[in-house]
Amino acid sequence: MGQLFGTDGVRGVANADLTAELALGLSVAAAHVLAEAGTFAGHRATAVVGRDPRASGEFLEAAVVAGLASAGVDVLRVGVLPTPAVAYLTGALGADLGVMLSASHNAMPDNGIKFFARGGHKLADELEDRIEAVYAEHRTGAPWDRPTGAGVGRVSDYDEGFDKYVAHLIGVLPNRIEGLKIVLDEAHGAAARVSPEAFARAGAEVVTIGAEPDGLNINEGCGSTHLELLKQAVVEHGADFGIAHDGDADRCLAVDATGAEIDGDQILAVLALAMREAGQLRGNTVVGTVMSNLGFKLAMEGEGIGVVQTGVGDRYVLESMKEHGYALGGEQSGHVIILDHATTGDGTLTGLMLAARVAATGRSLAELAGVMRRLPQVLINVPDVDKSRVATSGELAAAVADAERELGSTGRVLLRPSGTEPLVRVMVEAADIEQARAVAGRLADAVKSALG
Residues assigned a catalytic role: 104
Is 449 labelled as part of a ligand binding site? no
- 246 labelled as ligand-binding? yes
**DSSP symbol at 18:** B
8 has binding-site annotation: no
Residue 304, by phi and psi: left (phi above 0), alpha (psi -120 to 50) or beta? left
The answer to whether 145 is a known ligand-binding residue is no
DSSP code at position 335: B
d(CA 358, CA 177): 8
Q: What is the pairing mode between strands 46-51 and 74-80?
A: parallel
CB 309 within 8 A of CB 199: no
Sheet holding 261-262, edge to edge: 205-209, 181-185, 241-244, 253-256, 261-262
Strands 241-244 and 253-256, how do they pair? Answer: antiparallel
- 129-134 contacts: CB < 8 A, separation 24 or more? 129/5, 130/33, 130/36, 130/37, 131/5, 131/26, 131/29, 131/30, 131/33, 132/3, 132/4, 132/5, 132/29, 134/29, 134/32, 134/33
Per the annotation, binding residues for Mg(2+) are: 104, 246, 248, 250
Residues making up the annotated binding site are: 104, 246, 248, 250
